[in-house]
Structure 1
Amino acid sequence: MEIYSHLAKALPIGPSSNATAASNINSCPLASKIFHGRESILATMVKYYAEDTRKQRIFLLHGLGGAGKTQITLKFVEDSSQFSDVFFIDASTPETIDIGLMNIAVSKYSGSNAQDALQWLSRTAEEWLLVFDNADDPKINLHSYFPQCKHGNILITSRNPGLAVHAGANAAVSDMEGTDSVELLLKSAVQDSTPQNREVAREIVKELCYFPLAIIQAGAFISKSGALNSYLAYYSANRARLLSEKPAQTHDNYGSTVYTTWQISFDQLTPPAATLLQLCSFLHHRGISEQIFSNASFRKDVSIHPLVHKWSQSTLGDPKKYHSHMVAIAGMSFEPFRTRPDMWLGDTTATIEVGLECADIYTWAGQDKKAEPLALAVLQRRRDTLGEDHLGTLAAMNSVAYIHHQLGQPKQAETLQSVVLEKQKSMLGVDHPETLITMLDLANTYRQLGQLQEAEAFQSVVFEKRRSIFGEDHPDTLIAMGYLAYTYHRLGRLQEAEALQSVVFEKQKTISGEDHPETLIAMDNLASHIHNSVDCRRQRHFKEAEALQSVVFEKRKTISGEDHPDTLIAMGYLAYTYHRLGRLQEAEALQSVVFEKQKTISGEDHPETLIDMGFLADTYYQLGRLQEAEALQSVAFEKQKTSLGEDHPHTLIAMAHLAMTYHQLGRLQEAEALQSVVFEKQKTISGEDHPDTRIAMGNLALTYYQLGRLQEAEALQSVVFAKGKAIFGDDHPETLIAMGNLASTYSRLGRLQEAEALESVVFEKRKMILGEDHPDTLSAMGNLADTYYQLGRLQEAEALQCVVFEKHKAILGEDHPHTLRGRGTSKCCL
């Protein structure tokens, strides 16, 4: 019958009880003539089937299609002499299993259906071996096809490791050993095993990830072309075709290529599981965690690829879904944590586009250096296939620009974004939503470059156009308003910033409700503007900020849980306000929690962890716990330098903070060395007028002061003071810090009248803005007292010094360094 001709070859003709083992192998093909290696798996199988278990022996070989499971099975059968009968069954569908069992019943004259075969196997207490090959369908309950008895032997090959529940032992079949894979390639390529050929083959199998089917296909191509030495170059240019092409001459009956065998497994996955596998194929296997995917549904401050954002929100709202997808992937023996199928997935059209999504994932995880090559690869692919002016190419260019922005490379980002903006204006028009998004992105880059006027110009345009097109209450309009408010804040136009942010907050509250994430973000931003606005640095305004942040923190804790990223951000903001209020013990308590939770959730090297480490160190610094501050800052600086590079803004901030602590510890030479580097890098990267350059200049000047290099200190401090006053006005904290530091240098230079004039202004403004008990007010009071002392105005000096001493003792305790100094002569670093 035709149906038997391809499923049950070489059926025996009579009872087999007295026949030799070789004559009783039913429809079992021979092993490939070029089979090589796998000795450890074969030895495990031989040992297992030799055991006297007094029960049915079941062994599972599992692994990705093309890994060599069937060939190992055939080699094992070929070398074994212990089995009375070997029955080889195609287990890919229930129908093929039924046909295979029916053939057993017919061949043994025991009936004509599958149940008859199972009964015969149950009655026949001999060493038969029943092979279920390609049992890949997870919906088939294979146990229902096992003979119900305590004797006999079963061997299963499957892509599904979950079948191990049936087995007494199992072995995973994956990569070959290096030496074995070299020999397999040379055998299949019909090449002599010379030292030179082995060296060439070693590079080829390494490129093929030691995957058996890929090696065999490569060997077939080489045997036809003789191109052993040039294969790698040809493969690099024609990978997809070579791994999809079925050789005309083969050494076995395996009908699929590398790509088709993976496609078979891939097609059985649900769409969300397939997307997850595609994403994993782009990520390094040691960097994959549920957290980096779940962050996708939390972050609001990055340009998230729409497809992956939607997938993350729908999939990771319930953690059970993520784990079910991972189980499904593992059930097909894909290895997402080793990226085994990436050479196939990376060549599929859909997955090339997923490269951008993976770049986003790396960005969420703070691994921007890993994101960059993926985004660049997609950009080049789109340039080649779509052309420079295609909208898809421009979108990829924007993604690369954003990664440059995150890497602290704003000039590279600005170059790309400017090109995209001009092309979009020409192709889509000035009012198109995509054009406005690019304009907003370019404005953010200008802000990072310190070009605040240019940023404000673009943001004003976007805000007005969105308000005109969408209306005042549209989410996009509110986003533009929020960005403009932030730039006003950076420009020192603090009342305008607060006014805009108040509007954003009230509208979000009305439109979305008090508990909506966007409302809580707006509330956080408003709190930030409040404790930085022109007249807000009074104690009562800090308390207004604290009140808002406390609400945000409690709401996020209730809605999202204590460990959610947004909750930790809110806790950090509240801690910062405590810090600014001088409530350092409360700030330290919250920051310690944030740091420990971030370390547990994201790992010690994650950028967010390092930022939180820096904040905690800064509070230690303010508390006078300088050794603890220095220990944390040293770690943060080294990790930032390793992960982000020496020129990244976060690295420079960490370097500056460490230098400040060296300064306070009296390690002035070390402080000056670091601060000089920070100042020169900031000047080169950001320009002389950038706020970060001005801060670096001020800190270096203060160390010059302590080193006695007073002329150099005064020169720098005069520039810092003049620039700060021009940009921020007389009452801004940066202006007051610069004024106080310049006054101290005047004092050391003997210019006491000039010093006293500046210090009086600083003291009165800080008392008015911050209150009499704030640490910065006490510092200003101590500095003024010191100048009075040098001027010979001893009674005025003593009066101030007594106040400082008593307040420090009451607030900080008798053993704090500031209290022990007896008078507040500490200088402020920016």
Structure 2
Amino acid sequence: MFSLDGDSRSLHIAGGQGGPGGPAHLQGGTGGIGQGPIVNITTSQLIAHNLQATVATDQASQLWNLRASQTASHCPPPSRIFCGRQEILNKMHHFFSDTGIQHTYVLYGLGGAGKTQIALKFIKESLSRFSDIFFIDTSTIATIDTGLKNIAVLKDFGDSPPDGLLWLTSKVEEWLLLFDNADDPSINLNDFIPQCNHGNIIITSRNPGLRVYAGSNASLVSNMEEEDAVALLLKSALQEATSHTEQIAAEIVKSLHYLPLAIVQAGAFISKSRDLDGYLPLYMKHQARLLSEKPAQSHDQYAWTVYTTWQISFDQLTLPAAMFLQHCSFLHYNGISEEIFRYASEYHFYSDGPSEEELEKPLEFLSHFLAPDGEWDSLQFLDATNEVQSYSLISFDAEKKVFSIHPLVHSWSQGTVGNPKRYMSTMGSILGMALSERPQGDIQLASLLLCPHIELAVKRDVEIALVFRAQYTTIFWEGGRYKQAKRLQEEVLEKQRQLLGENHPDTLTTMGNLAVSYSKLGEHRKAKELNILVLEKRKQVLGENHPDTLQTMGNLANSYSDLGEHQKAKELKVIVLEKRKQVLGENHPDTLQTMGNLANSYSYLGEHQKAKELRILVLEKRKQVLGENHSDTLSAMGNLATSYSKLGEHQKAKELNILVLEKQKQVLGENHPDTLSTMGNLASSCSDLGEHQKAKELNILVLENRKQVLGENHPDTLSAMGNLATSYSKLGEHQKAKELNILVLEKQKQVLGENHPDTLSTMGNLASSCSDLGEHQKAKELRILVLEKQKQILGENHPDTLETEKLLGSTSPKQGEPSGTR
């Protein structure tokens, strides 16, 4: 039977019930099994007398041969609701515009991403470019042979697959061959590609390895742009585009992660229920069911649902590859690295950790990637991951050396296991095992990769060994996730007190780490009290000179600094440094840490030259001991930049801050608190050099990120707020600066106290804002108060005290002088 499509001027010819072995896409036999596929022949004009029916010699079926002025396209049409993908289509049009040589283009990506539809859309837009267009189902060798045989039959050039290949090879024309669904990695597609210098080939595949046939002439087909995804959903749902429907559709496509097949399935469901607004709540509750059901009516000939198309690929995987995908689906879908599994495979059983029997499942999974001698075998791991990649069920970022899983594949894969809690527990243990063996300096693994996985593991209601949960807290802390670290440390500490007792070394370690978290979260008084308690207990349990005792003593000194007690902090840091030199040696990382902390105290006390000299020494030693890109080395580099700034070497400070910032973004991530501190320091350098607009923009960015990462009332957030007020002042926005300084001052009084150096600094900035606005009496009163407190707290010769004295002298300018001289 055939029907005429007036819009596309295409003749759709459908076979009857196909006889056994009937050639696909061209003929339909009588009886037998399987509906014969559609043939689509596009013409410029359909005239009845131009149609001639011929009978195939080897099958008792009809073959329609159309002679017309345009190309014969033996392909199905693209979906009537096709949307977007213009960038890929433009690239293909440009690539195929050149003639005279053979062109091959590969469209690769996850099943359901719309590879075939892009190819068909391109073909529809390019009919005049090609002499003939052939569609070959490349899912099996049998379907490829059938497709090539059909070409031979159609062209009256024999009736075998080699005949079809021979016609393509010998016909020096601009034909186009579409190898669709070339997904089976065991098929060598090169055996079926015409070996000639003419013709054009498009390959669609889930296997990124097929890029070998196209080089750079390939496109990864992944998620749609939001605007196109919204348009696709509304078209498939038969919904009119209004501001309301577009807003609802945007929320739906976001939850579907912009995957075309999922969007079309959702649209089909909505078109039936006619309830766009009600879809998202249903999807959140019944995701697996909605993505598994095939709509009764379809906009194209794609036979599978989202979940069934991935199941087909999954069923082809070997056991190690399938297990890898399933286990990874219980990690976060991004940032999956080989190191997680390699470190876990090196786990040594510790007396306070779980037994071999308790870790039976993790060890069983890891055994698939071990050599016979029990060592980690990267080649076996690579074989498994390459296999999963060949179906685009995972992707690999070669630059970052990490795997990722499409979020929908991630949730689907979880549904393929019978006992999800067992897998959750297994992966929770593997993470703990990896952390136990992770090299101490591998901060990047912690801050950029492991935190999201640990976060998921902590949220799940599964049993994970206490020693592993304690390891998790370290990763949160290193990754700058201080709130999560604090929550988990408090939970671990409570259990350790119950199981191990108040004075057990592990309990004291968690207690000390919790004090550091309090400090990082700006809870400085709480940190100080806990450090004092831990120090007393460690002196009793471990002794005065034990490295852990000295660590707590150093933490207590930092608490004094955080509370503005800089002289007290300095004195204690000097003691810790001397003891660490004796116990650990001059170049031990902990000794260098104390040296850096002492330099900070010199800086706080206005001894900037002394601070600079010590910081140069710390930086050199850290480069030698830890390496150029270690987070502690970068911290030392940033501190040296601060010294340059304090000593007026602003250009030098700016250049060093730029270098540190770039490295910290790579090592720690863009939103790590240390990265944000450097960004704030860079803003200060820009301001010191008169680049006030640039400083303002950076300060706004730092403030926004600190609010998200640390919270609105964290001391560092308040500091960023004060720096932004300074930028407003420098740019002449004095009223804005004053209002912000008032807000910061009120918050700092509550959080830090009235006499904290940072509070006094803000009070001085507020005095400057008043002066800038002509409120000289108010400015004078504030500066008198600041000066009094600074003399008591910082001393008469501290640079901040001297600066306030100088400004106090300029608060009441002589007639004719500009106000606000600083």
TM-score in terms of structure 2 length? 0.58
Q: Return the letter of the residue paired with 1:693.
A: T
Any idea what SS the aligned residue of 2:136 has? strand
Structure 1 stretch 247-256 or stretch 61-70: which is displaced more?
A: 247-256
Matched, 1:53 2:118: no
Match runs of 1:259-338 below 5 Å: 261=310, 264=313
Matched residue, 1:439: 511
**Aligned-residue offset at 1:88:** 1.7
Q: 1:341 aligns with which of 403, 406, 416?
A: 406
Kept in 1, the 8 Å contact 2:776–2:811? The answer is no
Kept in 2, the 8 Å contact 1:240–1:344? The answer is no
Residues in 2 aligned to 1:167 and 1:666: alpha-carbon distance in whole angstroms: 58
Q: Return the letter of the residue paired with 2:658.
A: E
Q: Return the letter of the residue paired with 1:652.
A: L
The change in CA–CA distance for 1:464 and 1:35 in structure 2 (over 3 A counts) is: same
Match runs of 1:55-94 below 5 Å: 55-71=101-117, 73=119, 86=134, 88-91=136-139
Q: Return the letter of the residue paired with 2:515.
A: A
Identical-residue share of aligned pairs (%): 32
Residues in 2 aligned to 1:659 and 1:33: alpha-carbon distance in whole angstroms: 56
Kept in 2, the 8 Å contact 1:91–1:132? The answer is no
Matched residue, 2:676: 607
Q: 2:637 aligns with which of 560, 571, 577?
A: 571
Match runs of 1:519-598 below 5 Å: 520-529=592-601, 543=610, 546-557=612-623, 566-577=632-643, 584=647, 587-588=649-650, 590-598=652-660
Residues in 2 aligned to 1:745 and 1:640: alpha-carbon distance in whole angstroms: 31
Match runs of 1:666-677 below 5 Å: 675-677=741-743
Q: Return the letter of the residue paired with 2:115.
A: K
Matched, 1:234 2:282: yes
Matched, 1:257 2:306: yes
The change in CA–CA distance for 1:504 and 1:72 in structure 2 (over 3 A counts) is: same
Kept in 2, the 8 Å contact 1:277–1:329? The answer is no
**Aligned-residue offset at 1:207:** 4.9
The change in CA–CA distance for 1:222 and 1:202 in structure 2 (over 3 A counts) is: closer
Residues in 2 aligned to 1:6 and 1:428: alpha-carbon distance in whole angstroms: 73
**Aligned-residue offset at 1:234:** 0.6
Kept in 1, the 8 Å contact 2:703–2:720? The answer is no
Residues in 2 aligned to 1:388 and 1:51: alpha-carbon distance in whole angstroms: 59
Residues in 2 aligned to 1:482 and 1:136: alpha-carbon distance in whole angstroms: 60
The change in CA–CA distance for 1:274 and 1:567 in structure 2 (over 3 A counts) is: farther
Match runs of 1:96-135 below 5 Å: 118-119=165-166, 121-123=168-170, 130-135=177-182
Structure 1 stretch 98-107 or stretch 629-638: which is displaced more?
A: 98-107
Matched residue, 1:686: 752
Match runs of 1:90-489 below 5 Å: 90-91=138-139, 118-119=165-166, 121-123=168-170, 130-136=177-183, 142-159=189-206, 163=210, 166-167=213-214, 173=221, 202=249, 204-205=252-253, 207-208=255-256, 210-222=258-270, 228-245=276-293, 252=301, 254-258=303-307, 261=310, 264=313, 341-345=406-410, 382=460, 385=461, 421-422=493-494, 425-426=497-498, 429-430=501-502, 435-436=507-508, 438-444=510-516, 446-447=518-519, 454-463=526-535, 479-489=551-561
Residues in 2 aligned to 1:398 and 1:187: alpha-carbon distance in whole angstroms: 50
**Aligned-residue offset at 1:459:** 1.9
Kept in 2, the 8 Å contact 1:122–1:147? The answer is yes
Kept in 2, the 8 Å contact 1:386–1:393? The answer is no
Matched, 1:499 2:575: yes
Residues in 2 aligned to 1:671 and 1:223: alpha-carbon distance in whole angstroms: 55
Aligned pair count reads: 661
Structure 1 stretch 56-65 or stretch 391-400: which is displaced more?
A: 391-400
The change in CA–CA distance for 1:55 and 1:470 in structure 2 (over 3 A counts) is: farther
Q: Return the letter of the residue paired with 1:147.
A: P
The change in CA–CA distance for 1:188 and 1:602 in structure 2 (over 3 A counts) is: same
Q: Return the letter of the residue paired with 2:552.
A: A
Is there any run of 5+ residues in structure 2 with no aligned partner, and where?
A: 1-18, 28-55, 337-361, 363-381, 415-422, 436-442
Q: 1:653 aligns with which of 719, 723, 726?
A: 719
**Aligned-residue offset at 1:15:** 8.3
The change in CA–CA distance for 1:430 and 1:633 in structure 2 (over 3 A counts) is: same
The change in CA–CA distance for 1:616 and 1:703 in structure 2 (over 3 A counts) is: same
Q: Return the letter of the residue paired with 1:133.
A: D
**Aligned-residue offset at 1:70:** 2.9
Residues in 1 aligned to 2:311 and 2:740: alpha-carbon distance in whole angstroms: 54
**Aligned-residue offset at 1:235:** 1.1
Deviations 1:661-692 (A, max 9, x none): 99999999887665433322211333435453
The change in CA–CA distance for 1:123 and 1:487 in structure 2 (over 3 A counts) is: same
Residues in 2 aligned to 1:45 and 1:713: alpha-carbon distance in whole angstroms: 66
Kept in 1, the 8 Å contact 2:111–2:310? The answer is yes
Residues in 1 aligned to 2:467 and 2:740: alpha-carbon distance in whole angstroms: 45
Q: Return the letter of the residue paired with 1:237.
A: K
Matched residue, 1:771: none
Deviations 1:98-147 (A, max 9, x none): 76688679979999997776456434667765432223467876445312
Residues in 2 aligned to 1:271 and 1:495: alpha-carbon distance in whole angstroms: 54
RMSD: 6.7
Residues in 1 aligned to 2:98 and 2:478: alpha-carbon distance in whole angstroms: 65
Residues in 1 aligned to 2:264 and 2:187: alpha-carbon distance in whole angstroms: 31
The change in CA–CA distance for 1:329 and 1:99 in structure 2 (over 3 A counts) is: closer
Kept in 1, the 8 Å contact 2:331–2:453? The answer is no
Matched residue, 1:291: none
Deviations 1:381-412 (A, max 9, x none): 54xx4699999999999999999986xxx9x9
Any idea what SS the aligned residue of 2:178 has? strand
Residues in 2 aligned to 1:335 and 1:578: alpha-carbon distance in whole angstroms: 42
Residues in 2 aligned to 1:193 and 1:702: alpha-carbon distance in whole angstroms: 58
The change in CA–CA distance for 1:637 and 1:231 in structure 2 (over 3 A counts) is: closer
Is there any run of 5+ residues in structure 1 with no aligned partner, and where?
A: 284-306, 308-320, 621-626, 750-820, 822-826
Structure 1 stretch 475-484 or stretch 264-273: which is displaced more?
A: 264-273
Structure 1 stretch 142-151 or stretch 245-254: which is displaced more?
A: 245-254
The change in CA–CA distance for 1:652 and 1:485 in structure 2 (over 3 A counts) is: closer
Residues in 2 aligned to 1:427 and 1:470: alpha-carbon distance in whole angstroms: 20
Matched residue, 2:350: none
Q: 2:789 aligns with which of 720, 740, 746?
A: 720
**Aligned-residue offset at 1:430:** 3.4
Any idea what SS the aligned residue of 2:203 has? strand
Kept in 1, the 8 Å contact 2:178–2:201? The answer is yes
Kept in 2, the 8 Å contact 1:188–1:216? The answer is yes
Residues in 2 aligned to 1:49 and 1:742: alpha-carbon distance in whole angstroms: 72
Residues in 2 aligned to 1:232 and 1:560: alpha-carbon distance in whole angstroms: 50
Matched residue, 1:301: none
The change in CA–CA distance for 1:29 and 1:258 in structure 2 (over 3 A counts) is: farther
Residues in 2 aligned to 1:5 and 1:433: alpha-carbon distance in whole angstroms: 76
Kept in 1, the 8 Å contact 2:657–2:682? The answer is yes
Kept in 2, the 8 Å contact 1:671–1:703? The answer is yes
Any idea what SS the aligned residue of 1:509 has? coil
The change in CA–CA distance for 1:235 and 1:428 in structure 2 (over 3 A counts) is: farther
Matched residue, 1:815: none
Residues in 1 aligned to 2:139 and 2:492: alpha-carbon distance in whole angstroms: 55
Any idea what SS the aligned residue of 1:628 has? coil
The change in CA–CA distance for 1:478 and 1:340 in structure 2 (over 3 A counts) is: same
Matched residue, 1:776: none
